[in-house]
Amino acid sequence: MTHPGRFIETEIVESWAEHQRQFMRVTNDDRVIEERVRAFHIAQEPPLISEMIYMRHCEGHQEFASSAVRTASSS
């Protein structure tokens, strides 16, 4: 393993707007669980979250890939 502490989660959503709405729909119960999970993080700085986006545009056969990195505290 190149990054033994790294976890990768893959999701398929209809659009970027839908992806953003998922973060707006977080419930208080979700927040409690996230806080409990983050309690296991032992580093001084918050964990980094990478968002890697892949999109295929069928009409023009264009492909696009992008990534962004943010800290868990800025989510």
User: What's the rounded Cα separation, in Å, for the pair 27 and 18?
Assistant: 16
Give the residue with greater pLDDT, 11 vs 58: 11
- Mean of pLDDT values over 5-13: 81
The pLDDT value given to residue 12: 82
How many structural domains does the chain have? 1
The predicted-structure confidence for 14-73, as pLDDT tens digits, reads as follows 888 888 888 788 899 999 998 998 899 888 988 888 877 776 666 665 555 555 556 665
Residue 3: inside a domain: no
Residue 41: inside a domain: yes
The pLDDT value given to residue 5: 77
The pLDDT value given to residue 75: 46
Residues spanned by the domain of 33? 16-74
Residue 44: inside a domain: yes
- Give the CA radius of gyration of the chain: 15
For residue 57, the cross-strand partners are: 62
Tokens describing residue 16: 């970027």
User: What's the rounded Cα separation, in Å, for the pair 30 and 54?
Assistant: 27
Tokens describing residue 23: 């973060």
Residue 8: inside a domain: no
pTM: 0.52
Residue 23: inside a domain: yes
